[in-house]
Chain A
């Protein structure tokens, strides 16, 4: 299975450098509103969530597209936007349940994450490793580890007694 961007909200600090890196790479300007990844900040709950396309296996954006402009690249797993086919109807934006399909008003077409061809810029610029580029099989292993550590603490106390 191809790699995807794995998000660990516990490590995100809400700096939005990923948004700057993404918009600069793909649009040549610093502009969070054009970034394909968007950080949601909930300070009251101390929760930070960078939201980005997870390249769904059954991609609703592709299913709805009347122009067949969204296709999976079987080699990389990326749902790719074929810019010449896109008619700018924005239905993919409606269909995506995660709200990560973007739109480029300058070009009049959709705008979506393409994993930067296998080297995602947002991951490179995430200095806290809240974003990682990993195989889905091990995507949430960090959560299991955190849980296991809690368990470990109770066992360790038992052993040390």
Chain B
């Protein structure tokens, strides 16, 4: 494979910021075959080169920006780039994926991934112009929002450069700071797990890349055929995905999720929100969208789920992206807020300041509950922080980013904040990372996924909700027609039978997706064989069919698990807050439900080939060909 890579470029960049040293190295063929790229190659290098016990914000942590073999190819939505590092929020593995245009541009410059090591003495940014790579001073950029940062770097480098940057939140080491491509205006986020804070801890303000090289595929005719069929299969697939997401963007999920009683409301105190219609896709299209039904796409995506809307907030009056469903839920129903204008403003500010909208909203929601229950005094918050206080969003978001006043406490995330006030159980999180906007009492399989996902509370590393809530027939496809339900019929959401094997399967499938370079929005809809065809015809590697593809995902999932265990996590961290386990859903379609997690976990561990304490057995590791050789000292 050496010198003759297809799909992959065959090279990566290693930057040591402490030493100011830049090296271009060759990919290791055997690792790329087993881990592909993205989340896979990220965890492989993290496990190999970083002691999982290091402080996430110390120079000893590393940060990997990794594309997949399909990134930058004509595979639909082949645009993903992962930020993989140790998370300052969970103290386990973080992997945050961004769409936009950065990943493809990095491939066109000739690199599959970048490993960032050490810490620069003063603020810097990395400028990659095909073969020329420089570390440049970024002191004048420090403190700037993501949009101004991009504007200034574009002026200093190339207008066509693609940029990943952090805002003040990352600089101030907010534990849920994110990384943005596109600035506040066209912001796509590597959102979760605080990867922006890791950039900040390294004094790395941005990475700018311009590439003009091409990517070849192994079997052009087969690849072209698989690509074309994938485009069409998507358009002919699930109506919700193909039509609603195209016409309204992800924010249309507000209405769908409320209908099934799983829209997290007031910090998960309910699954239905009386103000849902005011914060959903229809309202956004009518009142904020500037392009009617036409949104904005990420690179190479024929779905185009992003929305551009009118935003007017102090210091900004213009067009900006968002909010996505997860932002609308976290900043909206989670906080009991039905004022879409304020949600739009807050989501914009999060992108501009570099904050994960999900953790931001959920942390505000947690503070609101602490406040209403009398655990959090007004002298700490500075404002009356009741649910529904829409003005609190734009008041708090900048304070979190700058760690100003109460923002200093919120910047630690909901778990550490709630713990400080004596009520950690009110943090709606797993492994200290706040949940996305699906209440697992209304989709119990997702509850198991929430509890066991390696990056903590999160939906997008195993979306069982797709079938439990939205009848997408995904598990039926993944299980090759053996399990699940066909499209159009929901997998029974309130039962626990069959959920452990479903959780494992869906998580492993998402592992493979996240290593491929394609966006899951496409791959969860199209026939699984097309995924295999795209991978094989692009890379020329025999991935072992769909079985091999699933094994790749499983391998990645298990290696991440080993990282977390070595970092100090145990099976005790595979859990959910008391509310979801013991407090029945009070109203709506899921009324009376709790997540019977403890009935699902033992079977899940067993199916995973883990012992009763959730540790992968030697047999399982051997089967997956996982061997962690002696860690390279650094």
Contacts and interface: CB of A to CB of B under 8 A. Distances in A.
Contacts of B216: 28-30
Contacts of A28: 216, 220
B110 to A, nearest CB: 11
A31 B220 contact: no
B23 interface: no
Interface string A7-36: 000111111110011011001111111100
Contacts of B318: 44
Interface string B177-200: 000001001100000000000000
Interface residues of A, number: 29
A21 B294 CA distance: 21
Contact of A31 (B101, B215, B319): B215
Interface size class of B (residues with CB under 8 A): 35 or more
A146 B31 CA distance: 54
A30 B308 contact: no
B108 interface: yes
B321 A127 contact: no
A46 B291 contact: yes
Contact of B108 (A27, A32, A41, A46): A32
Interface stretch (B297-305, B417-425, B525-533): B297-305
Contacts of A125: 231
Contacts of B214: 23, 27, 29-31, 34
A97 interface: no
B297 A15 contact: yes
Contacts, number: 83
A43 B74 contact: no
B216 to A, nearest CB: 5
B299 A16 contact: yes
B306 to A, nearest CB: 8
Contacts of B182: 43
Contacts of B220: 24, 28
B384 interface: no
B72 interface: yes
Contacts of B599: none
Contacts of B321: 43
B184 to A, nearest CB: 10
B616 interface: no
Interface string B92-123: 00000000010010001000000000000000
A128 interface: yes
B319 A14 contact: no
B319 A43 contact: yes
A16 B72 CA distance: 11
B300 A17 contact: yes
A17 B235 contact: no
B294 A127 contact: no
Interface of B: 72-74, 101, 104, 108, 182, 185-186, 211-217, 220, 224, 231, 235, 290-291, 294-302, 304, 308, 318-319, 321
Given A15-B304, A31-B214, A128-B302, 4 more contacts: A15-B300, A20-B300, A21-B74, A28-B220
CB-based closest 7 A-B pairs: A31-B214, A29-B214, A15-B297, A43-B186, A13-B304, A33-B212, A127-B302
8 contacts: A16-B300, A20-B74, A30-B215, A43-B182, A43-B185, A43-B296, A127-B302, A128-B294
